[in-house]
Amino acid sequence: MRDLADAQAAAGHMVGIVCDSTTGGEFEERLFEQMKDTLALGVHRTPMQRHVGPGDLASARRTYRIIKELRPDVLHGHGAKGGAYARLFGSLLRVSRSRVARLYSPHGGSLHYDESTATGKLFFALERFMARFTDCLLFVSDYERRTYRRKVGEPPVPNALVYNGLRASEFGPVIARPGAADLLYIGMMRDLKGPDIFIDALAAAGPRLGRVPSAVMVGDGDDLPRYHAQVKRLGLEASVQFLRPMPAREAFTLAALVVVPSRAEAMPYIVLEALAAAKPMIATAVGGIPEIFGPGSPALIRPDAVELAGKMSEALADLVAYSRLMPDGADLRARFGADVMAAEIEKAYFAALNA
């Protein structure tokens, strides 16, 4: 969203961000601070809980007041909660104004639920209901679009696939510094992202390599203490270093090989960032990740610690040869550039406004 907002502001649009204030830390605060001067409509942070609950009423009132004051022509909601707010509040604004385009990018969220469960059925019924308040759906991966069709139904409104994009400055090799670790995990410290799989795989890779691979784990989250305990339980304290969140390209200098062991994803930026930095990597074949690598890529695995351990051992045994298996950099730039992303989304905005 930062890359998109920057590109839209550079194109002359008046852009603002309204988002949650309860997640993130110092690193995220610095990122928002850097953006404030470039966004004409500012950055507005207010408490928004991830899951549905009583606090949503107060959160909705606060968020609506902010949006009503900003009087946007376009409301683009990201994720289930953002999508609900954008579409409901955009509809309320239409009571007094005729031109408010309401767009929604699912980004996983409610689409992760099992459609056979009561919770899943409830969320997908809500998605079908909310479609009537939607002018356009923007999917960040074909996987998400297919999942939406399977679990929610064929979208009754215009929809498009627009891949996430990186700025031109993010395409360029990042070299591991002297004494760098073997492996890097960077992301949220929660089971959905697979830090526990990563740690178990480190332990399992040791006997295959004849040594325990060294690793750096960068990130934060409520489950972080549990991963510290897992490392201690497996006797990996000397091999694993935990660090606070930092810019991805800075983190890439800390290790030779990047690992993304997620159990579920939409179209993760960290995969694009690592490949744009010419970092060899291992990733799970979940969500939209195979769309980045291409079908049948040997870099893709199941979210399984034993399989990951085998791939770690294989890659570290000959990292130069393994690096040749990564996607072509020029092709990545053509498909996943921020300029491409911003142009396609701008096209969707004007189409929704004209309709």
Superfamily of domain 2-165+337-354: Glycogen Phosphorylase B; (3.40.50.2000)
Is 90 exceeded by the pLDDT of residue 41? yes
Residues contacting residue 210 through CB under 8 Å, at least 6 positions apart:
none
Per-residue pLDDT tens digits for 146-187: 999 999 999 999 999 999 999 999 999 999 999 999 999 999
Q: What percent of the chain has pLDDT over 90?
A: 82
- C-alpha 332/C-alpha 36 separation (Å) is 30
pLDDT (average), residues 107-118: 83
Structure tokens at 271: 């995969």
Q: Name which of 63, 101, 103 is nearest 79 in CA terms.
A: 103
Is 90 exceeded by the pLDDT of residue 243? yes
Q: ∠ CA(3), CA(273), CA(165), 5° rounding?
A: 40
Q: For residue 245, how far is the Cα from the chain centroid?
A: 15
Is 90 exceeded by the pLDDT of residue 107? no
Structure tokens at 244: 């606070």
Q: How confident is the model at residue 95 (pLDDT cuts 50, 70, 90)?
A: confident
- C-alpha 239/C-alpha 256 separation (Å) is 15
Beta-bridge partner residues of 45: 19
Is 80 exceeded by the pLDDT of residue 110? no
- C-alpha 210/C-alpha 216 separation (Å) is 19
- C-alpha 45/C-alpha 34 separation (Å) is 15
- C-alpha 188/C-alpha 220 separation (Å) is 6
Q: How confident is the model at residue 113 (pLDDT cuts 50, 70, 90)?
A: confident
Q: Which amino acid, one-letter code, is at 135?
A: D
Q: How confident is the model at residue 111 (pLDDT cuts 50, 70, 90)?
A: confident
Q: How confident is the model at residue 96 (pLDDT cuts 50, 70, 90)?
A: confident
pLDDT (average), residues 266-284: 96
CATH class of 171-335: alpha beta
For residue 49, what are the CA distances in angstroms to 55, 271, 338?
7, 27, 29
According to CATH, where is 3.40.50.2000 located in the chain? 2-165+337-354, 171-335
pLDDT (average), residues 51-57: 78
pLDDT (average), residues 264-279: 95
Is 90 exceeded by the pLDDT of residue 246? yes
C-alpha torsion sign, points 254, 259, 260, 263 = negative
Is 80 exceeded by the pLDDT of residue 262? yes
Q: For tokens 């409520």, what's the residue? A: 222
pLDDT at 139: 96
Q: What percent of the chain has pLDDT over 70?
A: 100
For residue 38, what are the CA distances in angstroms to 165, 201, 338?
19, 43, 17
Q: How confident is the model at residue 221 (pLDDT cuts 50, 70, 90)?
A: very high
pLDDT at 141: 93
pLDDT (average), residues 57-69: 94
Is 80 exceeded by the pLDDT of residue 15? yes
Average pLDDT over the chain reads 94
DSSP-assigned letter for residue 193: G
Q: How confident is the model at residue 229 (pLDDT cuts 50, 70, 90)?
A: very high
Q: Name which of 103, 102, 104, 110 is nearest 151 in CA terms.
A: 110
pLDDT (average), residues 19-42: 89
